[in-house]
Amino acid sequence: MAKNFFDKVRPTFSKGGKLAWLHSSFDAFETFFYVPNRVTRKGCTHVKDCIDLKRLLIIVVIALMPALLFGIWNLGYQHSQVFGLGWGFWQMVWYGFVKIIPLYLVSYIVGLGIEFASAQMKGHEVSEGYLVSGFIIPLIVPVDVPWWMLALAVAFAVIIGKEVFGGTGMNIWNPALLARAFLFFSYPSKMSGDTIWVGGLSKALAGGTPWKGGAVVDAVSGATPLSHASLDGLSAAGTSAWNLFLGDIPGAVGETSVIAILIGALLLIGTGVASWKIMCSSVLGALFVGWLGTVGGVTDIPCWEQLLMGGFAFGTVFMATDPVTSAQTETGKWIYGFLIGALCITVRLFNPGYPEGMMLAILLMNTFAPLIDHYVVNANVKRRLKRAKTV
């Protein structure tokens, strides 16, 4: 039925049609619903991917589903816990749903609006890259973030992070992380601390007494609101590694549940959409520095627990592996992933000022990914030249 509709209106948007100037918007909507009647054209913006981009993105979105669904329930669960409401399952889900929907609306309306406008202006076809970024953004920001802030962050990420570099496939940094970084550095008082991760809590506190229980590590920033105690370690805060793994702790919507993220990771690796090398090496890097930290006496947190904390799992699975901004060469992927994991834990251990190490680590390595690739390729060329000479 819808197919017929598209077929019917297509001539209007084609060259010479009444609404020809809107043809890129038309394309976008049509291909969103159906496989396009032509495959990726030569010379358009899908630089690094050979299969149709949209199918690939859909798989990522599906892989994100477990984390999202769990996060929605968890939103309600945390709210109910903190305010002692004793809600049932569906009430919790409903609360989470109501909380998360506006974030998605803001994310997509602003992000896609800018994408459409810029595609229209440049006369390109609208690229679908934002579908995933827009899906991830609400999962990694505090749920109580004011909508206008989110809108601003999304606009910044899409315009400065993506469009000025030439749109999807040309961006240096992961747009979703850029949006989060924008929020984090622009409005630090709204983005750190331990009251922002539970829906409704910061608002409830705004008029009341200062919150006791300063938290430093990002994981911990989510781990404590219930304990009312300053933090000596996770166990002191009443959060076990099992809680971290399961994810029934306060935190960004999509980031808390390692198990839900793992399900997504399996899907991504199974379909070959995301690189298992990056995920593996990132985990190795984190374990390595986490281990150094415990050996060196910097921290009491065992290195494997670092993997369960904060945004590490989510970042490793969904953002470090972003095919556009990660390293492209196979050896490069190992180096890139390892450094992300290592840097993330390094930041956590040594910089109490900016506890979300994962965001900074990935953004930094995004910046260096082309350099890594360059040297890997060069090394390869040199090795082959040498071999050619000796023969």
Partner 1 sequence: MNEDLKKTLLNPIFKGNPITVLVLGICSTVQLKGALVMALSVIIVTGLSSFVVSLLRNSIPNRVRIIVQLVVVAMMVILVDQVLRAYAYSIDKQLSVYIGLIITNCIVMGRIEAFALGNKPIPSLLDGLANGAGYGMILVIVAFFRELLGSGTLLGFRVLPASYVPNNLVILPPMALIILGCIVWVQRSIQKDLQEK
Partner 2 sequence: MNTNSNVYTVVYTTIIVVIAAAILAIAAMALKPKQDANIKAETISQMLTAAGFSSKEDLAKLGNDQILKMYSDNIKTAFLIDAQGNKTGELETAVNDIELQDNLKVENKNIAAGDPSLPVYVFVKDGAEINVIPVYGAGLWGPIWGYIAFDADCAKIVGAYFDHESETPGLGAKIKDEAWFREQFQGKSVNYGNPERSFRIVKGGAPKDDNAAVDAITGATMTCNGLDAALNTWFRAYMPFLQKKAGAAATEVDDCCGGDCCSGDGECSDCNHEHNHNHQEG
Partner whose binding site includes residue 364, from partner 1, partner 2, none (CB under 5 to 8 Å by kind): none
CA 101 vs. chain centroid, Å, equals: 17
Interaction between residue 318 and partner 1 (CB under 8 A): no
Binding of partner 1 by 187 (CB under 8 A): yes
For residues 152 and 186, give the distance between their C-alpha atoms in angstroms, rounded to a whole number: 10
Cβ-contact 356, 216 below 8 angstroms? no
Q: Taking a C-beta distance cutoff of 8 angstroms, is the pair 213, 224 a contact? A: yes
Choosing among partner 2, partner 1, none, which partner's interface includes residue 240 (Cβ < 5 to 8 Å by kind)?
Answer: none
Contact 213, 229 (CB under 8 A): yes
Q: In this chain, which stretch among 84-92, 105-113, 199-207, 339-347 interacts with partner 2, using CB under 8 A?
A: 199-207
Interface with partner 2 includes 229 (CB under 8 A)? no
Nearer to partner 1, 82 or 160 (CB): 160
What distance in Å separates the CA atoms of residue 245 and residue 239, rounded to the nearest whole number? 10
Phi then psi dihedrals of residue 207, to 5 deg: -95, -10
Interface with partner 2 includes 205 (CB under 8 A)?
Answer: yes
4-33 residues in contact with partner 1 (CB under 8 A) are none
297 binds, among partner 1, partner 2, none (CB under 5 to 8 A by kind): none
User: Strand, coil or helix: what is 146?
Assistant: coil
The minimum distance between CB 188 and partner 1, in angstroms, equals 6
354 makes contact with partner 1 (CB under 8 A): no
Task: Judge contact between 50 and 118, C-beta under 8 A.
Answer: no
Which residue among 71, 76, 129, 193 contacts partner 2 (CB under 8 A)? 193
Name which of partner 2, partner 1, none residue 193 binds, using a CB cut-off of 5 to 8 Å depending on partner kind: partner 2
User: Which of 199, 173, 303 shows the shortest CA–CA distance to 251?
Assistant: 199
Between 89 and 350, name the residue whose CB sits nearer to partner 2.
Answer: 350
Give the DSSP letter of residue 21: G
341 binds partner 2 (CB under 8 A): no
The answer to whether 151 contacts partner 1 (rule: CB under 8 A) is: no
Angle (nearest 5°) at CA 119 between 149 and 113: 30
Q: Does 215 bind partner 2 (CB under 8 A)?
A: yes
For position 160 contacting partner 1 by CB under 8 A, the verdict is yes
- What size, in residues, is the chain? 391
Give the sign of the dihedral formed by CA 150, CA 154, CA 160, CA 161.
positive
Q: At what angle do helices 53-82 and 130-140 cross, to 10 degrees?
A: 10
Which residue type, as a one-letter code, is found at position 104? Y
- For residue 137 the two structure tokens come to 């953004």
What's the min distance (Å) between Cβ of 212 and partner 2? 6
- The answer to whether 255 touches 310, Cβ cutoff 8 Å, is yes
Q: Is 188 in the site for partner 2 (CB under 8 A)?
A: yes
Q: Which residue stretch of 15-23, 143-151, 186-194, 329-337 sits at the interface with partner 2 (rule: CB under 8 A)? A: 186-194
Give least dist CB 148 to partner 1, A: 9
Minimum separation from the CB atom of position 80 to partner 2 (A): 23
Is residue 269 part of the contact set for partner 1 (CB under 8 A)? no
Q: Provide the binding-site residues for partner 2, judged by CB under 8 A.
A: 188-189, 192-195, 202, 205-215, 230, 352-353
Q: Provide the binding-site residues for partner 1, judged by CB under 8 A.
A: 149, 160, 164, 182, 185-188
